[in-house]
A and B are shown apart, each in its own frame.
Chain A
Amino acid sequence: MRAFVFTDKALERQAGRFVWLSVNTEKRENAALLGKFPVKVWPSIYVIDAATEKIVLRWAGGVTTPQLLRLLDDGEKAARGKTAPGAALADADRLYADAKYAEAAVAYRKALETQKPGAPSYARTVESLLFSLSQSGQREACAATAKGAYRNLKSTPSAANVAGSGLDCALSLKDDDPKKAELVTALAADARAVVEGPKTGLAADDVSSLFSSLAEERDAAKDPAGAKKYLEEWVAYLEGEAEKAKTPSERTVFDAHRVSACLALGQSERVVPALRQSEKDFPDDYNPPQRLAIAYGAMKKYDEALAASDRAMARAYGPRKLVVFRTRVDILTKMGDAAAAKKTLSEMLAYAEALPKEQVSDRTIAAIKKQLEAVN
């Protein structure tokens, strides 16, 4: 979003509507703010009423420029209390902002009853409903809602996320769920239609996630050849998108997905040149060497993996550094160096315990302790 959306000149005219605040949640000095406005999804967008310091609209995940423009309209109305025509939506947004997902789902359904598919906030309402259903564990309802809404949104920027969210919900249903097969089949067809169709206006990360979900669906259907086909298409899609990038910042946005895709395909070596280039372009960023450590680890090039991990460790900060520790533990474990893995786990625990409480959960610390006990 920072590379593609907030650089879009179409947004210049919006500058005067809001006070724009960007918060890096990894920084220690922002920890107290996270106590006030908890963040569980990255990126997250909130519209805050300055008078009450309450969130009046929340969006989880990235957006395209047209989606953001819609959010700005809805957020401004909500902050100014001018929400009479869409009061049900404003109620739902408040519940969603408070992370009351089960109640938000009910409210978003009510809001949908008052909107026709072409209505300005229809797509946002559907996507927020799907997220609320998923977060409150209502996976069958999530899949069924996505299946119903896809036909109304198939030519919009929301198509990929609706099909993908629905397919993920359907795949997560228990195998003995009588509706699972029908939902998976329908939503996989929708997802295929998105990845095989024109992708103009779709967020690349939404499309990327669809390839992953489609491969997972083929795996679940015990069709390894079909799964491999989607993994190959996934890697090729990301390589193509990265090639189109006009700047190193735009290109490196795809690195994370490329690592995931190449690892899933069993071709980690394929992403190494891109990561090395990213490390050259962004020498202070821990992400490229962290990803190189993962890729080299998968290739069993452990010396190179540890060297990359060293570079990542020196540059990482905040809660995300725990993932750098985690990768290092994984590499050392694969090398069979139990003593070094245990030492790294101890350092990881000390690091986690020193983080502000807003940046690390008790659950995370408990998980590290449990793993440390297991290797003792």
Chain B
Amino acid sequence: MKTTRLGAVLAAALFAAPAAVAGTTAAPAAPRQVLPFIEDDYTKALASAKASGKPIFFEAWAPW
């Protein structure tokens, strides 16, 4: 796969032509999500996961 396949953008592509690094992640004002995501708080997620015995589903995204 191309390192800059449009759906999966690599950091190494930061200085390619700007349009070629434009990913398809949603805009910041995202619609309602159906899963109870904890936003930007790993410590809270880790504590919750340890207490409940569940694994963490970690989504790394950027507002591109």
Contact = CB atoms under 8 A, between A and B. Distances in A.
A25 B20 contact: no
Nearest to B5: A209
Interface string B45-64: 11011101111111111111
B61 A326 contact: no
A23 B61 contact: yes
A55 B59 CA distance: 12
Nearest to A278: B27
Given A3-B31, A25-B61, A209-B5, A41 B54 contact: no
Contacts of B20: 260
Interface in A39-83: 39-51, 53, 55-56, 60-62, 72, 75-76, 79-80
Interface in B1-24: 1-3, 5-12, 14-15, 18-24
B48 A19 contact: yes
A68 to B, nearest CB: 9
Interface residues of B, number: 56
B35 A21 contact: no
A158 interface: no
Interface in A288-313: 290-291, 294
Nearest to B56: A48
Contacts of B15: 326, 364, 367
Contacts of A255: 22
B1 A22 contact: no
Interface in A188-214: 203-206, 208-209, 212-213
Nearest to B41: A21
Given A11-B35, A61-B7, A260 B22 contact: yes
A20 B37 contact: yes
Contacts of A2: 25-26, 30-31, 33, 61
Given A3-B31, A168-B1, A250-B31, A37 B58 contact: yes
Contacts of A16: 54
Nearest to A211: B6
Contacts, number: 262
Interface in A268-325: 278, 281-282, 284-287, 290-291, 294, 318-320, 322-323
A144 to B, nearest CB: 14
Contact of A76 (B26, B31, B42, B55): B55
Nearest to B58: A46
B2 A213 contact: yes
A150 interface: no
Contacts of A326: 15, 18
A179 B51 CA distance: 54
Nearest to A22: B37
Contacts of B53: 50
B48 to A, nearest CB: 5
A12 B41 CA distance: 22
A212 to B, nearest CB: 7
Given A21-B56, A50-B50, A285 B62 contact: no
B44 to A, nearest CB: 8
A50 B49 contact: yes
A335 interface: no
A376 interface: no
A47 B8 contact: no
A320 B14 CA distance: 8
A110 B28 CA distance: 41
Given A20-B35, A41-B10, A25 B62 contact: yes
Q: Which residue, of A3, A27, A256, has the highest number of chain B Cβ atoms within 10 A?
A: A256
A91 B29 CA distance: 38
Q: List 6 A-B pairs, minimum CB-CB distance, nearest first.
A: A61-B8, A256-B22, A165-B1, A50-B49, A79-B55, A205-B7
17 contacts: A1-B25, A6-B30, A7-B31, A22-B61, A25-B62, A41-B8, A45-B60, A46-B57, A47-B56, A165-B1, A205-B24, A249-B30, A285-B27, A286-B63, A291-B22, A320-B63, A327-B18
